[in-house]
Structure 1
Amino acid sequence: MLLPMKLLLCFLMAAAAAPVSTAEPAFVPQQSDRPQAITGDAPGFATIFDGQSLAGWEGDPKYWRCEDGCLVGEITSDTLIHSNTFIVWKGAHPRDFELKAEFRISDQGNSGINYRSALVADTVTPSNRFAMRGYQFDIDGAKDYTGNNYEEKGRLFLALRGQMTRVVGTRPPVLLGSFGDSAPLAASINAAWNSVHIIVRGNVLTHILNGRLMAVVIDDDAPNRPVDGLIGVQVHAGPPMKVEYRHIRLKQE
């Protein structure tokens, strides 16, 4: 049966106006399913370092520069410091998020990625405008501390590499379990580039390096735990060193 032209036009217009669902179909689990690795980033990650400039970042240019697509922090024999200093991303104060990045560090280097952090006064070097307090994914060239959760200028070591801990505020962090000994985990740290993945959800802080779980903190110390804050990367007081970061991406919840 032929539809009248007017009715046909109305039908076509209604069909065009109807919303088209782009959502993925709901996952129906099967007994045969197992967790799977994914390639690349999940949707929602945005680059926060463009690899061409320090746009959006603030730090002391004596120690920080953009070079060959990398965010470079370097201390030389002529620029030795007595206090840790940071370059800070000023784009937001993330609360719950995932952060991914790659780093390479010299043998004597000491650095870290701070998050949920704040800029604070430096009593050792008052001219240092870029001291921070907050959680840190610890990084060092000797592989002694890389992967630890360390609270800079705060409660210090919250979890060592290979540990899951609970922080309660009335005693040192409580060890809940282990992912393995520190030495085998250190063996997974590359001399060249390494991939960092930090996952922050509420009071649970997860550190992953090169696909290996390094540290998990459950921070139940409500009076002292930060709930949001700045992201920054560090050069540490000490001997000459160099650290490079690239491909820094953030997914905010």
Structure 2
Amino acid sequence: MKKLFSIPLHLGAAALMLAAPMAVSQAPAGQAAPAFPPGFNPRGSAPYDYIDNTGFMPLFDGSSLKGWDGDTSLWSVKDGAIYIHPSCEHPTGTVYLIWQGGEPADFILKYDFKGTERVNGGMQFRSYLSEKPTGTVYPPRQRMGGGGAPRPAGAAAGAGAAAGQGAARPAGAPPRQPACANPGTPPSKESQAKWDLFGPQADFDAGNMWSGMFYEQGGRSIISPPGHAILAEPGKPTLTTATIAEKEQLNQWFKKDDWNSFMIIAKGNTTQIFMNGHLITSFVDLDPKYFRASGKLGIEVESTGEYSVKNVYLKELK
């Protein structure tokens, strides 16, 4: 049964500052949004137009990797989208493509992802190069001791777990790579190190186990499975303060083997991640050991399958 999203009162204004563009259960295209109760004055409130890119800057020109930096033997452009295809024969390991236009602080970022097979990845933001860190640098990782959530039973490999991060793989989980006749060797870690990012990520995977989750490379790993409102405070484990949607509802919102539209709103200590017009994760991060106010944007991929990204638009908030 789907639970309607609500913000607990003790989160106060911090969790509500982004309420205007939220669309937890927005009506599908072509259907009218629910009417307001009689006598209620919405004071100009209207459904957020995800298609309107007025005031946004395009980060991808649709035909080249201009403005992005990564290993071009792995990343390319295909059919108007940034493209990469890790496979058993040609594995990539965990690799990144980094936008070179700056280090946004508060922003709205919109983009479309499509993936097949077992591919997993996400959009990095407020991140830093692990070889040349600046600003907040995460303390040494503590496996599940300093916050984060355990992997759901039967979860597929994904997020940072495939690199040995986060909680242990559940017993009986499928192999990370499907078998093939001629398994290849991924590029060396040394060859990719100059592009490695640590920091927040809006997760994505072709099987929708993690899509829309707030994940943290090099830090707290899996903060919480998707579909939750989360609070982090200094010296405490991260806490789930509300359920936004159950897994059944998340699967209904996800478009398997097709394009999924995402939006990240990062304002101060609050981050919200939307998928196909629905709020998936709301995170209020008050822990100064991990919170980063600004940083790099980048695309991450791992596991196997085709992976495409297009319609990348950024609006920086002042």
Instruction: Bin the TM-score by the shorter chain.
Output: 0.7 to 0.9
Higher mean alpha-carbon deviation, 182-191 vs 56-65, is at: 182-191
User: Is the 1:158–1:217 contact (alpha carbons within 8 Å) kept by the matching residues of 2?
Assistant: no
User: Is the 1:74–1:235 contact (alpha carbons within 8 Å) kept by the matching residues of 2?
Assistant: no
Sequence identity (%) = 27
Larger Rg: 1
Q: Which amino acid aligns with 1:75?
A: P
SS in 2 for 1:127: helix
User: Is the 1:88–1:231 contact (alpha carbons within 8 Å) kept by the matching residues of 2?
Assistant: yes
Higher mean alpha-carbon deviation, 191-200 vs 179-188, is at: 179-188
- The residue aligned with 1:46 is 57
**CA–CA separation in structure 1 for the residues paired with 2:92 and 2:76:** 17
Deviating beyond 6 angstroms after TM superposition, the runs of 4 or more aligned structure 1 residues are none
- The residue aligned with 1:130 is 195
**CA–CA separation in structure 1 for the residues paired with 2:62 and 2:54:** 21
* Structure 1 unaligned regions, length at least 5: 1-29
- The residue aligned with 1:13 is none
- The residue aligned with 2:213 is 148
- What pairs with 1:86-97 in structure 2 (closer than 5 Å)? 86-97=96-107
User: Is the 1:135–1:151 contact (alpha carbons within 8 Å) kept by the matching residues of 2?
Assistant: yes
Change (3 A) 1:81 1:65: closer
User: Is the 1:45–1:251 contact (alpha carbons within 8 Å) kept by the matching residues of 2?
Assistant: yes
Q: Which amino acid aligns with 1:247?
A: N
**CA–CA separation in structure 2 for the residues paired with 1:150 and 1:101:** 17
- The residue aligned with 2:260 is 194
User: Is the 1:134–1:151 contact (alpha carbons within 8 Å) kept by the matching residues of 2?
Assistant: yes
TM-score, normalised with respect to structure 2: 0.66
Q: What CA deviation, in whole Å up to 9, does each residue of 1:135-177 have, x standing for no partner?
A: 1010001111111100011111223211111112423211111
- The residue aligned with 2:299 is 233
**How far off its partner does 1:31 sit?**
4.2
- The residue aligned with 2:306 is 242
Give the paired residue count.
221
Q: Which amino acid aligns with 1:207?
A: I
* Structure 2 unaligned regions, length at least 5: 1-38, 133-162, 164-187
Higher relative contact order (CA 8 A, sep 6+): 2
TM-score, normalised with respect to structure 1: 0.82
User: Is the 1:46–1:249 contact (alpha carbons within 8 Å) kept by the matching residues of 2?
Assistant: yes
- The residue aligned with 2:316 is 252
Higher mean alpha-carbon deviation, 177-186 vs 62-71, is at: 177-186
Change (3 A) 1:81 1:121: farther
Relative to its length, the structure with more strand (as a share) is 1
**How far off its partner does 1:48 sit?**
0.5
- What pairs with 1:104-183 in structure 2 (closer than 5 Å)? 104-121=114-131, 125-128=189-192, 129-183=194-248
**CA–CA separation in structure 2 for the residues paired with 1:72 and 1:61:** 10
2:42 aligned to which of 33, 36, 44: 33
SS in 2 for 1:208: strand
**How far off its partner does 1:42 sit?**
5.5
SS in 2 for 1:241: coil
User: Is the 2:245–2:280 contact (alpha carbons within 8 Å) kept by the matching residues of 1?
Assistant: no
**CA–CA separation in structure 1 for the residues paired with 2:242 and 2:311:** 32
- The residue aligned with 2:170 is none
